[in-house]
């Protein structure tokens, strides 16, 4: 288990703020022992919460060109056939995974191949499970063309708390299934759009492990 590089600045800044607050209370209210002790405990627990958010566990990835693996830890909240209007302009099978603040927030490539399309969209910060979050919120759209020729689109979507999306891919880049492709801070969602003949292997409300849970099989 390591701490993700995206958390270094946040963790240092949070620690400095908590130290300053506790120091101020210690010197300004020397008689308030219970208050000072309570603040120390609360600060410690808050810092642990922030720290766990940036954890980056080691994952053993089993590569399989026919399998689509979960791009994130979280809960499956959408499985449906829909029309994807940004790139395909055609029906696709959609699987959406919601990440709560307690999930690991590293995003991983669900397939291996070449990045054929990438676009960043500034936008709103609706709650991640809102129906319009995938079209109105801040988000990225990535399309990877697999060696078989199949194309898979996935979207990082910011939520009400997530105000920073990071990505590590660009058009023309070759990516490997399970490798890191981005990070979203403090609660968010990832949508995956698959060919209609894809066999979905997860259920609504099922928990996923990024880089390990197989969400679909290409037929």
- Give catalytic residues, as residue numbers: 188
What is the 3 state secondary structure string of the chain?
CEECHHHHHHHHHHHHHHHHHHHHHHHHCCCCHHHHHHHHHHHHHHHHHHHHHCEECCCCCCCCCCEEECCCCEEEEEEEEEEECCCCCEEEEEEEEEECCCCCCEEECCCCEEEEEEEEECCECCCCCCCCHHHHECEEEEEEECCCCCEEEEEEEECCCCCCEEECCCCCCEECCCCEEEEECCCEEEEEEECCCCEECCCCCCEECCCCCEEEECC
- Burial class of 61 by CB neighbour count within 10 A (0 to 12, 13 to 18, 19+): middle
List b or e across 5-29, with b for residues whose CB sees 16 or more CB atoms inside 10 angstroms.
Answer: ebbeebbeebeeebeeebeebeeee
């Amino acid at each position: 288990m390591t701490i993700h590089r995206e958390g270094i600045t946040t963790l240092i800044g949070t620690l400095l703020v908590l130290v300053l607050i506790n120091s101020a209370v210690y010197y300004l209210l020397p008689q308030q022992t219970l208050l000072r002790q309570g603040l120390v405990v609360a600060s410690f627990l808050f810092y642990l919460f922030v720290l766990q958010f940036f954890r980056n566990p080691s994952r053993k990835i089993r590569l399989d060109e026919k399998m689509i693996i979960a791009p994130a830890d979280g809960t499956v909240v959408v499985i449906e056939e829909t029309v994807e209007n940004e790139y395909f302009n055609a029906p696709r099978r959609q699987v959406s995974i919601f990440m709560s603040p307690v999930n690991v927030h590293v995003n991983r490539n669900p397939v291996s191949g070449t990045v054929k399309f990438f676009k960043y969209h500034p936008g709103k910060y609706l709650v991640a499970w809102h129906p319009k979050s995938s079209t109105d919120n801040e988000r990225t759209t990535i399309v990877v063309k697999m060696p078989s020729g199949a194309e898979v689109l996935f979207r990082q979507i910011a939520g009400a708390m997530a105000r920073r999306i990071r990505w590590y891919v660009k058009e023309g880049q070759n990516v490997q299934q399970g490798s890191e492709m981005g990070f979203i801070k403090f609660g968010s969602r990832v949508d995956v759009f698959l060919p209609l003949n894809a066999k979905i292997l997860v259920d609504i409300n099922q928990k996923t492990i990024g880089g390990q849970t197989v969400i679909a099989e290409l037929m």
